[in-house]
Amino acid sequence: MADHSGTTSSSPPTTSPTRYDVDVVVVGAGFAGMYMLQRLRSLGYSARAFEAGTGVGGTWYWNRYPGARCDVESLEYSYSFDEELQQEWEWTERYSSQPEILAYANHVADRFSLRESIQFETRVEAAKFDEDDNVWSVRTSDGQTTVCRFFVMATGCLSSTSLPTFDGIEEFGGTTVHTGQWPKEGVVLKGKRVGVVGTGSSAVQAIPVIAEECDELIVFQRTAQYTIPARNAPLDPSTQADIKSRYSDFRDANFAMPQALGAEIPKFNDSIHDVSDAERERRFENAWERGGTLFMTSFNDVLVDESANVYAQDFVRQKISETVNDPAIAAKLTPHHIIGCKRLVIDTDYFETFNRSNVSLVDVSDDPIEKITTNGLLTQTAEFELDVLIFATGFDAMTGSILRVEITGREGLTIQEKWSAGPRTYLGLTVPGFPNMFTISGPGSPSVLTNMIISIEQHVEWISDCIEWLDSRDASTIEAEINSEEEWVKHVNAKADRTLFPSCNSWYLGANVPGKTRVFMPLLGFPGYARRCEEVASNNYEGFVIQ
Ligand code: NA7
């Protein structure tokens, strides 16, 4: 790698081709940023990460709401890059809770001394590519500018919260909080009248826990939710020991799965139309009892054929009617859209919670929210008095945290201009016009449709290999060609269009954020993607201009 000189300064330094502060600036210290730092440093590169929070963990640092938990199993949702790390860490539950994942993130930061390369409580505000010297100048919220050769956005897919504009919100006399920015000190719920707006994954996890604690809970639902039992439980030590005894094979098997997880779950490659009614019920029932998001893989066509999908919808609808005592409430909780086109949610006692006497449900698709008042929330027909109002209204997913930074590439083009009609990338990793900039789990990569940690590792390793390759050739820039971007966008859309994914208003499409351009952002199919990335690299980074 190249030598470097210069120090961080409060004004943009005059750069010469060899003057920069660090080889790489990494934005964010979640799981992507942490591994990027670790990998670069182990290869001898200098790197600095900027992180807005006071600690590591990214999404697991911010999402501290009651009940927050991963929907990927613990032994899969963990780093695989270091054998000692994966052997020494003991998970306690099938699905880890937010505090346990955050403790794991802190353990990783300590184990690899990552904190010395992270500047906390510092937001990256802008980054500008200098075409004369092929460096990026990165401006941070402390007024400093750091010059680097490579700029990596490790900002996460679900880190920019989305709060709809409700009239009167600032007049509310109680406490308002977003699940994605839950305060470290917690929120007092005991003895309170609590309202939750939203019934996505965050709300589905939080509602049963909040209901236990508060006096009265009112759930404001716009779209009823399909959710499958998680069947979370303490992790059997013998299961953990077994997987650890063959961890590398376990990881390899998952790497070959479409979502980079679930290799040991029974797989079926037949159509729902080719089995008997009894077999169909049996498979769904087994998947329901097993718990987890792989309910949808009970047949090969549930996510591609609407008539197949209806069977899965009916099965879950039947479960709701069996679980919820009051038929009127069960009817309100019953979804009618395609199952799985919004991210399938897994839960612990979600539908059961609506049998509690302190929980009520307001269907705001029928009776829309008019405004927030001093005392609570007003719908078209009623006012609900509340002490705490929780917004579980989701995220400006995949692009929000990238577009929040003023990123300027060649010829003054900003990422905001470049993506004004929706995000466009090559491999979900790079953007034409923005040389030496990489996005980890960016739009156009499998990201949120996979086990994120495995996707992150694949990206980090590809990026660091690429930087090493460039340096081995004394090349100073890599930049995606516009044709490569064009082809890639077509490829991502074609994959999605063969499925039912684009058929409803999901955050995968950006449909949850008013005014956001609708583009299906993640790429379906992890193994094919990883192979393509390898081919690109081994063909001397085809599709890129190297200078
Ligand atoms: P989601 O899944 O985007 O859910 C947001 C929820 O908020 C959803 O039920 C929305 O209803 C609801 N919402 C959004 N805006 C409004 C307004 N204006 N009025 C009423 N209700 C509204 O976010 P989560 O945080 O739950 O989960 C995000 C991901 O994090 C999840 O998929 C996991 O991967 C982890 P809608 O469905 O749009 O009608």
For the chain, the average pLDDT equals 95
Cβ of 512 below 6 Å from ligand 1: yes
Write the residue with the smallest CA distance to atom 22 of ligand 1.
198
Ligand 1 pocket member 511 (CB < 6 A): no
pTM of the full predicted structure? 0.96
Higher per-residue pLDDT: 18 or 525: 525
d(CA 301, CA 93): 32
Would the CB of 507 count as within 6 Å of ligand 1? yes
Distance CA 522, CA 525 (A): 10
Q: What is the DSSP letter of 501?
A: G
Radius of gyration over every alpha carbon of the chain, rounded to an integer in angstroms:
24
How is residue 246 annotated by DSSP? T
Which of 179, 202, 221, 380 should be mutated for ligand 1, with most atoms under 8 A from CB? 202
At residue 193 the predicted structure's pLDDT band, cuts being 50, 70 and 90, is: very high
Residue with the smallest CA separation from ligand 1 atom 2 is 200
Q: What percent of the chain clears pLDDT 70, i.e. is strictly above it?
A: 97
| Cβ–Cβ < 8 Å for 497, 490 | no
Mean pLDDT of all residues in 464-477: 98
Which of the four pLDDT bands, split at 50, 70 and 90, describes residue 8? very low
Cα of 399 from ligand 1 centre, angstroms:
16
* Cβ of 58 less than 6 Å from ligand 1: no
Is residue 180 helix, strand or coil? helix
Confidence bin at 330 (pLDDT 50/70/90): very high
Domains of the chain plus CATH, in order, are 22-160+396-542 (3.50.50.60), 193-391 (no CATH)
Residue 18 has what pLDDT?
Answer: 59
Nearest CA to ligand 1 atom 25: 394
Report the candidate in 240, 17, 236 with the shortest Cα–Cα distance to residue 135.
Answer: 17
Q: Provide the residue count of the chain.
A: 547
Closest to 44 in 3D by CA, of 398, 464, 353, 442: 464
Side-chain half-sphere CA neighbours of 300 within 13 A: 7
Q: What token pair was written down for 309?
A: 């999908």
Ligand 1 pocket test: pick from 69, 97, 201, 452 the residue with the most ligand atoms within 8 Å of its Cβ. 201
Ligand 1: distance of its center to the CA of 359 in Å? 19
Residue range 173-201: mean pLDDT, rounded: 98
pLDDT value of position 228: 98
Whether the CB of 200 sits within 6 Å of ligand 1: yes
Q: Is the pLDDT score of 6 beyond 50?
A: no
Q: Which residues contact 242 (CB under 8 A, 6 or more apart)?
A: none
Structure confidence at residue 61 (pLDDT): 98
Residues 6+ apart with CB under 8 A from 170: none
Confidence band for 267, pLDDT divided at 50, 70 and 90: confident
Whether pLDDT at 205 is above 50? yes
Q: Is 393 in the pocket of ligand 1 (CB under 6 A)?
A: yes
For 116-169, the pLDDT digits (tens) are: 999 999 999 999 999 999 999 999 999 999 999 999 999 999 999 999 999 999
